[in-house]
Amino acid sequence: MRVVVTGAAGFIGSHLCERLIARGDEVVCVDDMSSGRLDNVIALKESSRFEFIAHDVTSKIPVAGPVDAVAHLASPASPPDYLRRPLETLAVGSRGTENALRLAHRHGARFLLASTSEVYGDPLVHPQREDYWGNVNPIGPRSVYDEAKRYAEAVTSAYRRTLGVNTGIVRIFNTYGPRMRANDGRVVSSLLVQALCGEPLTIYGDGKQTRSFCYVDDLVTGLVAMLDSDEAGPVNLGNPQERTIAQLADLVREVTGSAPPVEYHAMPQDDPLQRRPDIGRARALFGWDPAVGIEEGLRRTAAWFASRPEELASAVVT
């Protein structure tokens, strides 16, 4: 297959590209490097089956030659990133998704949208199944991400219904692992980096809010299964092991063998109180189930950060 991956130089995108190259696919990486890094794909550039195009997908995507599949991952993903770039986030979720869909339509290619558990907002149904419509504040600060992704799902579904594009939607729940940026402001990277640097662990609110954390390798297995299928979705992809943020902080202490104090900060506006995927659909369709538990995943991620002292030193922890 020749697969175009938008957002390929980012955290999840680079792992996806690696998996596709490893199985023999050709990969065209399209990324504007707004939160991506050359370092994430530098090893892939050695492969003759990997091509890199520096491009903002809110403009027509300039890919020549055949395209069998488009995996659309381009978008800021960490809350500090999308709150810093609200208009760009809306643009990439709307115009960017339309351009990626047009590319798939032109080539008769499979289209995969990386949507998010954020479409469920602050969920009133728990755990979240795909038939839950969500509880999103459409004018709050997070709406630039949540509503952009909801629009992306809507336009993807319309391209399938109206133009017959073979589209698939996955809703990704909190994913972590090597290649997260030390200063991206997400909870796993922030707490690990703080613990490794002996700084206080920042907990927003009382730490009783929950998330369910999926190791990146497991996520990529689910992404590839969806890419290879003709399923429309949406399909939740995440690890249903749910933890409070306070429990996560304890695990981080355990895994890093350090005992920094906790520093409590105000809870951000509209921060969801609970989140856990029902993954029954992914299990039934693909036999997919995450294999890496949180302790093991945190250990691997901590080891990765620990082996990069420059990254740790440069981290401005929020």
The residues carrying an active-site annotation are 145
Q: What is the nearest approach in angstroms of ligand NAD to the Cβ of residue 264?
A: 23
Phi and psi, residue 279, nearest 5°: -105, 25
Asked whether position 204 contacts ligand UDP by CB under 6 A, the answer is yes
Asked whether position 26 contacts ligand NAD by CB under 6 A, the answer is no
Q: What is the nearest approach in angstroms of ligand UDP to the Cβ of residue 213?
A: 9
Asked whether position 212 contacts ligand UDP by CB under 6 A, the answer is no
Binding part of the chain for ligand UDP, among 100-108, 155-163, 201-209, 284-292 by CB under 6 A, reads: 201-209
Q: What is the 3-state secondary structure (H, E, C) of the chain?
A: CEEEEECCCCHHHHHHHHHHHHCCCEEEEEECCCCCCHHHHCCHHHCCCEEEEECCCCCCCCCCCCCCEEEECCCCCCHHHHHHCHHHHHHHHHHHHHHHHHHHHHHCCEEEEEEEHHHHECCCCCCECCCCCCECCCCCCCHHHHHHHHHHHHHHHHHHHHHCCCEEEEEECCEECCCCCCCCCCHHHHHHHHHHCCCCEEEECCCCCEEECEEHHHHHHHHHHHHHCCCCCCEEECCCCEEEHHHHHHHHHHHHCCCCCEEEECCCCCCCCCCCECCHHHHHHHCCCCCCCHHHHHHHHHHHHHCCHHHHHHCCCC
Binds ligand UDP by CB under 6 A, chosen from 209, 236, 239, 301: 209
Asked whether position 128 contacts ligand NAD by CB under 6 A, the answer is no
Binding part of the chain for ligand UDP, among 130-138, 150-158, 185-193, 287-295 by CB under 6 A, reads: 185-193
Binds ligand NAD by CB under 6 A, chosen from 96, 121, 207, 234: 96
Binds ligand UDP by CB under 6 A, chosen from 68, 228, 268, 304: 268
Q: What is the nearest approach in angstroms of ligand UDP to the Cβ of residue 21?
A: 28
Asked whether position 270 contacts ligand UDP by CB under 6 A, the answer is no
Write the binding mask 97 to 116 for ligand NAD: x where contact by CB under 6 A, - elsewhere.
Answer: -----------------x-x
What is the rounded CA–CA span in Å between residue 226 and residue 244?
A: 29
Q: What is the nearest approach in angstroms of ligand NAD to the Cβ of residue 109?
A: 18
317 close to 190: Cβ distance less than 8 angstroms: yes
Tokens standing for 228? 């290879």
Write the binding mask 46 to 85 for ligand NAD: x where contact by CB under 6 A, - elsewhere.
Answer: ----------xxx--------------xxxxx--------
Among 219, 217, 207, CA closest to 251:
207
**Residue 289 to residues 15, 235, 277, Cα–Cα distance (Å):** 18, 13, 12
State the binding partner of 271 from ligand NAD, ligand UDP, none, CB within 5 to 8 A by kind.
ligand UDP
Asked whether position 212 contacts ligand NAD by CB under 6 A, the answer is no
Q: What is the nearest approach in angstroms of ligand UDP to the Cβ of residue 20?
A: 26
Binding residues among 26-85 for ligand UDP as defined by CB under 6 A: 78-79
Residues binding ligand UDP (CB under 6 A): 78-79, 174, 186-187, 190, 202-204, 209, 211, 245, 268, 271
Residues binding ligand NAD (CB under 6 A): 6-7, 9-13, 31-36, 56-58, 73-77, 92, 96, 114, 116, 172, 174-175
